[in-house]
Copies of this chain bind each other. A is one copy, B any other.
Amino acid sequence: MIIVLKPDTQKPQKEKLIDWLKDMGLGVHISDGAYQTVLGLIGDTSEVDMDLIASLDIVDSVKRVSEQFKCCNRKFHPDDTVVEVGGVKIGGGNFCMIAGPCSVESEEQIIGIAKAVKAAGANLLRGGAFKPRTSPYDFQGLHATGIELLKAARAETGLPIVTEIMSATDLDLFADVDVLQIGARNMQNFDLLREVGKTNKPILLKRGLAATLKELLMSAEYIMAGGNEKVILCERGIRTYSDYLRNTLDLSAVPMLHELTHLPVIVDPSHATGISRMVPPMAVAAAACGADGLIIEVHNDPLHALCDGAQSLRPEEYARLAAKIGAVREAVK
């Protein structure tokens, strides 16, 4: 950590600060420049409160030199993490295709879609049983029944299943689910992160609506600090002033995250855009810039879907898209 003092700092104030820092067990390297004094802190600064120091009258600015995220930091773990789910590998050059409906609605629906997306090239099945809805009056999902139906679809097709968990109290219900999804609204539900960090299940962690990359990585860190290293990050659009689409898909997060962390990074173009005809161009763009996979909503009957139909592809559209994605991945190799 580096502390830059204001030009007119008096000696007694400066010494008081240095003593206080030393009391915390830190080494302090003092560099008196022509215009200002710079203090370099040596030792474990992870418990030093940057904001507190920045607020002091004599301090011009403070800068943390080392990142607070450790487990997910590529610096300390240069090789890509590969998460394995029921024989499917995610990360490290493997591309995952997660597809399925927004909500699980019925056995017929979920099995029908599961077969269709498998035929079209998907290797994991998604479907919502617990739905986070802005309004308490909207459909909230089939809950336990929905999970049973997902398992039935898995039994039929062999596709591992991915579904969202909204509360740690539901963990038992998810015992036989392959990948637990943490939704964007729960990215900083730290209690939930800590609890799923105690399981050994792969966690699909979605970026919050207004989360920085550092915050996303710190949330991954919450899970990994508990011992669970199987974290898959997901960019799903951020909230900006731009009003034509539901969110702004931040694709540059993909190469940036690959630089910062060894964890796999996938993209959700369905929730990012909210409009099905925008999904294929953004999906191929995600593949082009190095994403490790895609999670895409597919529905066999968008007009009657209970929610989010507007962003779902039909199976035949998904099949065409899957072919294009393969070609793009080949092109950028």
Q: What is the interface of chain A, defined by CB distance below 8 A to chain B?
A: 2, 4, 20, 27, 29, 31, 33-36, 38, 40, 42-43, 46-47, 49, 51-56, 60-61, 63, 65-66, 68-69, 132-139, 166-169, 185-186, 188-192, 194, 209-210, 212-215, 218, 221-222, 225, 238-245, 248-256, 259, 272-278, 281-282, 284-290, 302-303, 305-311, 324, 327-328, 330-332
Q: Are B210 and A241 touching (Cβ within 8 A)?
A: yes
Give Cα A275 to B222, complex, Å: 27
Q: CB within 8 A of A310: which of B51, B188, B250, B281? A: B51
**In the complex, A46 Cα to B138 Cα: how many Å?**
8
A-B contact pairs, 30 of them (CB 8 A): A2-B2, A2-B4, A31-B31, A31-B38, A46-B137, A47-B137, A49-B305, A49-B310, A51-B310, A52-B303, A52-B310, A55-B311, A63-B63, A132-B190, A134-B188, A136-B194, A137-B225, A185-B190, A189-B189, A210-B239, A212-B241, A243-B243, A244-B256, A245-B256, A249-B250, A249-B252, A252-B272, A255-B278, A288-B288, A328-B328
The contact of A42 among B2, B34, B53, B241, by CB within 8 Å, is B34
Least Cβ distance of A54 to chain B in Å? Answer: 6
By the criterion CB–CB under 8 Å, are A38 and B68 in contact? Answer: no
Given A2-B4, A255-B278, 13 further pairs, Cβ under 8 A: A27-B34, A33-B42, A46-B137, A51-B310, A61-B63, A136-B190, A137-B221, A185-B188, A214-B244, A242-B250, A281-B288, A287-B288, A327-B332
Once bound together, how far apart are the Cα atoms of A324 and B331, in whole Å? 7
Give the interface centre of A43, A251, A285 by most chain B CB atoms within 10 Å: A285
Chain B positions within 8 Å of A256 at CB level:
244-245, 278
B244 touches A212 (CB 8 A): yes
Given contacts A210-B241, A309-B55, contact A31 B40 (CB under 8 A): yes
Partner pick for A276 among B55, B250, B259, B305, CB 8 A cutoff: B55
The answer to whether B240 touches A248, judged by C-beta atoms less than 8 angstroms apart, is yes
CB distance from A17 to the nearest CB of B (A): 9
A201 to B213, CA, bound (A): 36
A241 near B244 with CB under 8 A, answer no
Is there contact, CB below 8 Å, between B55 and A137? no
B residues near A132, Cβ cutoff 8 Å: 188, 190
CA distance A275 to B34 in the complex (A): 28
A190 touches B133 (CB 8 A): yes
